[in-house]
Amino acid sequence: MDFAAQLDHAIQRLHDEGRYRTFIDIERKKGHFPHAIWHCADGTTRDVTVWCGNDYLGMGQHPVVLDAMQDALVKTGAGSGGTRNISGTTVYHKQLEAELSDLHGKESALLFTSAYNANDATLSTLPKLFPGLIIYSDALNHASMIEGIRRNGGAKRIFRHNDLDHLRELLEADDPAAPKLIAFESVYSMDGDTGPLSGLCDLADEFGALTYLDEVHAVGMYGPRGGGLSERDGLAHRIDIINGTLGKAYGVQGGYIAASEKMCDAVRSYAPGFIFTTSLPPVVAAGAAASVAHLKTDATLREQHQTQAKILKMRLKGLGMPIIDHGTHIVPVIVGNPTHTKVLSDMLLEDHGIYVQPINFPTVPRGTERLRFTPSPVHGPQEMDALVHAMDKLWSQCALNRAEMSA
């Protein structure tokens, strides 16, 4: 086989479909986020404003986080030096896990190198702990959940997105004695809609199923202390396993699960994705712990974040932009064509210094390609005005359809 030719064919197919992805090399400006420096391919640099980052609250630049990381760096150096089982568990890791278990009102928490790894490792391990386990998964669950469920070798059922009636049908069709788990998300990041958490918990209670909730796009941003939608809605005690990230609202890196002490103990003892992975650097764990602790008491950033999202949605709606609005912080503007989406993204970056990454298949279904904006408390009026004016100009320039203009 001509392996090089096969690789050329695979890459060209993405180009032909308008789905080829490119990296934009940026250098965030400490203390000035969302502003960054774009290192262009020709060797020049330009100032840009980041509108697609997951540092939702700007905590990656917060003095509380930076001070904690600098202190840990001076004390411990760079890496952890091993896996959690072999010299890689430090006081910083234990402190962070204590903050996370407290955040969700759980007995314990288990730290992973990413939320993807946490989902994949946990969901692929659960059938080892509960032989015959059937996992019921929402059709729009994240790729990390899908991968973990696929790899576990157990039975799985996919229910239509947020469709409680369909889930009930699937539960009723299976052996009542079989162990069951329902896996779902709180905020679905592509459309910004939310899962029917209470109804899902009710079905889990009725059929004796465990519940597994991915709160990745909600932790830090919802609830009195940032515990996510499950905290906001008073449902955390009904969720058996909560997955979260430290790389979005908390502005650092890493993922975790929070659950009972027995559950976390079993997962850490059986999951290869945990056992054989070098642990997070202590400096990262220290910064994440400081961020989690700070956001438990600082509701101001959460309130500002929601306000910014509402303002951006209102202004884009006023221009007739086809946005999806489910009342969360995600602001998707539907373009509906991969090539047009890429062109808009390129023009925003090159002509207006606005960086927003195009979202295409397979991340979203074909025909729903979009630009997904993530406003934050540190996007001020000047940045907002620049984005709205640029979108208005380019939408007309590209002759894209608009909805009825608001009166």
Under a CB-based contact definition with an 8 Å cutoff, are residues 101 and 87 in contact? Answer: no
Residues of the chain by 3-state class (helix, strand, coil), percent to 5: 45, 15, 40
In 3D space, the residue among 120, 123, 95 whose CA is nearest the CA of residue 109 turns out to be 95
Closest CA to 187 of 111, 255, 245, 121: 245
**Closest Cα partner for 90 from 278, 285, 229?**
285
In b/e form, how buried is each residue of 112-124, taking b as 16+ CB within 10 angstroms?
Answer: bbbbbbbbbbbbb
Backbone torsions φ then ψ of 246, nearest 5 degrees: -110, 5
Cα angle at 250 between 26 and 264, to 5 degrees? 125
Does residue 36 contact residue 48 with C-beta atoms inside 8 Å? yes
Q: Let me know if 238 is exposed, middle or buried by CB neighbors in 10 A (0-12, 13-18, 19+).
A: middle
DSSP character at residue 394 = H
Q: Would you call the peptide bond into 63 cis, given omega within 30 degrees of 0 as the criterion?
A: no
Q: Record the tokens describing residue 7, joined without a space.
A: 């690789």
Kindly name the residue from 106, 248, 313, 342 that is annotated as catalytic: 248
Between the two ends of the chain, the Cα-to-Cα distance in Å is 62
Contact 364, 370 (CB under 8 A): yes
404 φ/ψ angles, rounded to the nearest 5 degrees: -60, 130
3-state class (DSSP) for residue 266: helix
Q: Is 75 a catalytic residue?
A: no
- Catalytic residues, which ones? 248
